[in-house]
Amino acid sequence: MIRTLIFCIALIINTFALSAQQQDNRRTIDLEEVTVTAKKKQADAAIGAKVSEITQEDIKTNITKSLSEILWESSPIQIKSMGQGAMATASFRGTASSHTQVMWNGISINSTQLGSFDLSMVPVYFVDNISLYHGGSAQKGGSGALGGSINFGNEIYNDSKPTGSLLFEAGSNDTYTGAGSFSFAKKRFSSSTKFFYQQSDNDYLYLNTVYQKDPFKERRKNADYRQAGVLQGFGYRLKNNDQISATCWWQYDNRSLPQGIYIDNIPEEKNRSNNVRTMIHYDAMRDNYTFNTTLAYFYSDMHYTRCFDKVLTNQSDNINNSFVAKGEFNYTGIDKLALTGLLTYRLDQVRSESIEGNTKTRNTINATAVASYRITSRLHFDARVPLEWSEEKLFARYNLSARYRLIDQWLTLKASNGYNYRIPTLNDMYWQPGGNPDLKPEKGFSSDFTIMTQPTFGNVALKLEATYFYMNIDDWIMWIVKEKGPIWEPVNFSNVISQGVEINADLRLQWEKTIHTLSGNYAYTHSVDNSYREEGTQGKQLPYIPRNRWTAGYRFNYKDTVWFHYNITYTDARFTSADEAYQTEAYMLHNAEAGYKWTMKNGVSMDFTLKVDNIFNAYHESTQYYPMPLRMFWGRIIYSF
């Protein structure tokens, strides 16, 4: 851990020294350059893929929340959470959380040991942009995203005026948040610093529906948590306008692990983790080509303890190290044709007492070729062929997609078809006891078709997008109990077919000095297991996949001075067993926020915000026997300079 911190500090000092050695009187790069960067990120997705963006307004509203909470409120994807401040994972289109890739600045941060990623450990305060790539073949690069990918990142500060802010928030259940940021750019050098701290007793009020016939209210136990982090980013523009950037993200989490409310003798479980993620990026742009390369190092140290009556009964440590080297070349010198080559090397090492041999290493090499052809100004095609070498085997996949703008603004058609796979995790293969080194990769085909319209009527702008998707996945990995029990083991058991519809709509009206926005998301998912595992399970909806889920919101803004936001989310009943015998109840939540911005003559401003979550005290569970909070209140002040 100490060596990792030294590396991070050295990275920052060296980058600063590099900027100090070279001086130039040219003007600071203006904000137009940021738009080019955003377009480049969009190009990472296939032309015909469905891509949805989380708006800056939603990021601002959820600035003190976690990544899982903003996705749950602002998108149709499924979030499975153990409660506020506890582990939360995401899944797309009826797949599992291990089928969702989480990308930070273009690099996967999924755990090689677990396969999934805990979204509750990402503060929205550290995020500048969020986009969702729906479908198994939308993302360039590595495998694993059978359902889709979550992409979030940080942008280089390019404004010549230094800016900063301080934030304080207090909420229900003794939840307190403090954060701050400072950014500046001078000539060719730029710097952005953010820090974040949050703590909570988290003894929220919930409705107990298990112990008695008549439900009663009580408070959650052993759910407190603390979270702290620092994010430092540097950028330096060379004389030929090439860009060098470095980012270092340190985060500490210490949280109790609440138990299901059906447990009488409650143990005290705690999880403490340190994460350091560092990244250096070089970006070059020329007339006919662009080139970028990234070097990244990730370190994770997780310590788990379990106590009964304050007596330690179990503890374990898991240490993960990852090194990634990535290079990408884009060539546009041929009329109507764009070519891309991508090469990535990744080394993952896991040290854990629960892994066979205590240490396991995985080397992965990925090479991807992409060709995008513009037949006309309206019709585009895209073909992608990635090859991946891992576990001494070569895997191939493909994606073909197209986009056709049939009627300007009124009608655009998109389609995509591809083949993808996911290599078993190190836990799947080597966990002791139960790991199965003979597991085959999960693999399957996916297709989707999208109709989109974006007309404008004076001061009114409408965006409507509807997508049908179909996925057929073989060798789905499931953990089952061995015949002689009680050991669980993973097996390639199932064939899963998932199909459904996703609808996104936004209506924006600008009237005099006010802006009114209506937005909504809807997802219908029919995800079934077609394998015969046991009586009554074939053809049943997969556990924890709701058939229907939707969100709706209204946002009012007056001159960026007064704002109001109202949001509704609905989650259908979810079965918790493979035979659909047990389920969690459907629920609908209402949240509201109101704010005022006071701007002083010297440009300093203060934002005052009040927010209420779960206005009508709805009972809900994200995971069975893990109840979520009833009504909660939040008050926030942001001082900006």
pLDDT number for residue 6: 41
Question: pLDDT over 90 for what percent of the chain?
Answer: 67
pLDDT number for residue 479: 84
pLDDT number for residue 138: 62
Is the pLDDT at 31 greater than 60? The verdict is no
pLDDT number for residue 167: 97
Who contacts 184 (Cβ-Cβ below 8 Å, separation ≥6)?
Answer: 157, 162, 163, 190, 191
Identify whether the C-beta of residue 69 lies closer than 8 Å to the C-beta of residue 62: yes
Rounded mean pLDDT of 145-168? Answer: 91
Who contacts 112 (Cβ-Cβ below 8 Å, separation ≥6)?
Answer: 320, 322, 348, 350, 362, 425, 426
**Secondary structure element (H or E) that encloses residue 58, with its range:** helix 56-61
Tell me how far CA of residue 292 lies from CA of 140, 233, 281, 330, 573, in angstroms: 14, 18, 7, 9, 46
Q: Is the peptide bond before 76 cis (omega within 30 degrees of 0)?
A: no
Identify whether the C-beta of residue 46 lies closer than 8 Å to the C-beta of residue 399: yes
pLDDT number for residue 531: 77
Q: How many residues does the structure list for the chain?
A: 641
- Rounded to 5 degrees, φ, ψ at 455 are -80, 155
Amino acid at 442: E
Is the pLDDT at 255 greater than 80? The verdict is yes
Identify whether the C-beta of residue 173 lies closer than 8 Å to the C-beta of residue 629: yes
pLDDT number for residue 39: 38
Work out the pLDDT band at 622, boundaries 50, 70, 90: confident
The residue among 501, 525, 409 whose CA lies nearest residue 463 is 409
Range of the domain at 286: 2-640
Q: Is the peptide bond before 258 cis (omega within 30 degrees of 0)?
A: no
Rounded mean pLDDT of 153-168? Answer: 90
Rounded mean pLDDT of 85-93? Answer: 90
Q: What is the pLDDT of residues 270-311, one digit of tens each?
A: 999 999 999 999 999 998 999 999 999 999 999 999 998 888
**For strand 562-571 and strand 548-558, is the pairing parallel, antiparallel, or unpaired?**
antiparallel
Rounded mean pLDDT of 88-110? Answer: 93
Is the pLDDT at 23 greater than 60? The verdict is no
**Residue entry with tokens 């991070």:** 8
Q: Distance between the two ends of the chain, CA-based, in angstroms?
A: 35
Is the pLDDT at 24 greater than 70? The verdict is no
CA distance 420 to 441: 10
Who contacts 419 (Cβ-Cβ below 8 Å, separation ≥6)?
Answer: 137, 397, 398, 399, 443, 444, 445, 446
Q: Give this prediction's pTM.
A: 0.89
pLDDT number for residue 609: 97
pLDDT number for residue 40: 43
Q: What is the pLDDT of residues 477-487, one digit of tens each?
A: 988 776 666 78
Work out the pLDDT band at 4, boundaries 50, 70, 90: very low
pLDDT number for residue 30: 36
Q: What is the pLDDT of residues 51-71, one digit of tens each?
A: 999 999 999 999 999 999 999
Is the pLDDT at 8 greater than 50? The verdict is no
Is the pLDDT at 624 greater than 70? The verdict is yes
CA distance 175 to 496: 41
**528-532 long-range Cβ contacts below 8 angstroms, 24+ apart:** 528/496, 528/497, 528/498, 529/476, 529/494, 529/495, 529/496, 529/578, 530/494, 530/495, 530/496, 530/497, 531/476, 531/493, 531/494, 531/495
Identify whether the C-beta of residue 133 lies closer than 8 Å to the C-beta of residue 151: yes
Number of domain units in the chain: 1
Is the pLDDT at 475 greater than 60? The verdict is yes
Say which CATH number the domain at 273 has. 2.40.170.20
Who contacts 434 (Cβ-Cβ below 8 Å, separation ≥6)?
Answer: 479, 482, 487, 488, 489, 490
pLDDT number for residue 515: 96
Work out the pLDDT band at 13, boundaries 50, 70, 90: very low
pLDDT number for residue 17: 36
Is the pLDDT at 419 greater than 50? The verdict is yes
**Residue 331 has what DSSP assignment?**
E
CA distance 247 to 14: 12
pLDDT number for residue 483: 64
Work out the pLDDT band at 25, boundaries 50, 70, 90: very low
Q: What is the pLDDT of residues 208-251, one digit of tens each?
A: 888 777 888 889 988 999 999 999 999 999 988 899 999 999 99
